[in-house]
Amino acid sequence: MDGLSRRRVLGASGALGAFGALSLASPARARSLWTWAPSGSVAGKGAGLDPDWVWDEEADPVLAAVIQRGDVPKVNEALRKWTRNNQPLPPGLPADLRDFMEKARQLPPWADRRKLETAAGFNKSRGIYLNLLNGVGGGMLSTAIPREARAVYHSKGGADMEDRVAKTSLLGFAVGALNAYRPDGDVIVQAVKTRLVHAAVRHLLPRSPAWSQTSGGQTIPISQADMLVTWHSLPTYAMRKMLEWKIPITAAESTGYLHLWQVTAHLLGIRDEYTPATWDEAEAQSRQVLDPVLAPTAEGVELTDVLLRQLAEQTSPGGVDRPLVNALARYLVGDQVADWDGIPHEPYWEKAIATAWPKLVAFREKLIPLPLVPPLAWVIDEAARQYILFHLTKGRGTHIEIPETNRPT
């Protein structure tokens, strides 16, 4: 264990008793003991430390210094000019931040360009499912993850959820782009910027009385365990649902899609020793870190309502399709999570979606082999993505930016 992680464990140990008491008082929400072996990771080895007590020792001190020096405004101004994977870092960055980012933007030595290209092809033909699952489904899961819901709600982004969702969408859309990891793509840019934001939030949120009162004893947010939980709410959940829907996926596509998210995890600052090497390992880890922590929170219910209202407004200016959106969300995450998120039942639409969706999937999969279908599907999916971003940002566009404050009280 390095010095910074050791200091953080010691500093947080005072709250361990309270955290343990909370877990004992609420066994259904208690986090499982960490038993997942690093031999199942992309690194194939590791110290086996509980990721709940490991943060990001490379990024955190740098961002804390940036905030304390008052450099956030000039850094954000400079970072707006950094938009492509192959683009040099912009001038005007502090030396310590520049040094960190130069290292952070490098792909891991195990990154496989062939697999990343296979993943791009998979995103091209299955974009409609992936956007739905990573956007709506993953969004509903995230609001049922207490730590994530509270961290989002009480950080600066929680005060303007449209902008917060737009910024999150920048990373999600970058991962799913055809040129994601090509020189002209931007997933490296968006992932590194997101890593900077996470480090800033770790510095800021402990200073928020509102967050501290609801954090369940956690003294520093967004641990490696928290990032793994979020990671599983995206690719692991999406793959599970696509298999449930009987979508035909080749072995190469399955491996490529996992590899896409493995590389992205590395760029987000998740240690290689925690990133699953196979889908079987991902499922095993997800059952340990994601499934046990899903639970209701007041923040999660409020965020869910905001997200579903935005989705309804995107599909219909008057928001008249909210019952349909509610039913779709329930279909994607199931009744238990939907109840925790406070999503109303819509009996008519729930029955209609449960009946129609499997038929729609089966019909679409019959068309996929036709020559012009994947390109046409991609054009439609890309148009939908651009419309969503345009709607969320009111046509002004947005950038992932480092916060310098928490949510105003």
| Tens of pLDDT, residues 344-368 | 999 999 999 999 989 888 888 887 6
Domain boundaries, the chain: 107-392
Instruction: Kindly indicate the confidence band of residue 372, based on its pLDDT and cuts at 50, 70 and 90.
Output: low
Q: CA torsion sign, 256 to 222 to 200 to 397?
A: positive
Which of 145 and 9 is assigned the larger pLDDT?
145
Please report which residue ranges of 13-59 form alpha helices under DSSP H: 16-25
Transcribe 340-367 into DSSP letters.
HTTPPP-HHHHHHHHHHHHHHHHHHHHH
| Tens of pLDDT, residues 4-25 | 343 333 333 333 232 232 222 2
| Tens of pLDDT, residues 60-87 | 999 999 999 999 999 999 999 999 999 9
Using the predicted structure, report yes or no on whether residue 47 has a pLDDT greater than 80: yes
| Tens of pLDDT, residues 232-282 | 999 999 999 999 999 999 999 999 999 999 999 999 999 999 999 999 999
User: Alpha-carbon distance 66 to 99, whole Å?
Assistant: 13
User: Alpha-carbon distance 272 to 285, whole Å?
Assistant: 14
Residue 9: predicted pLDDT? 34
Residue 131: predicted pLDDT? 87
What's the mean pLDDT when you consider all of the chain?
86
* pTM of the predicted model as reported, rounded to 2 decimal places: 0.87
Using the predicted structure, report yes or no on whether residue 376 has a pLDDT greater than 60: no
**Which among 392, 90, 72, 119 has a CA at the least distance from the CA of 252?**
119
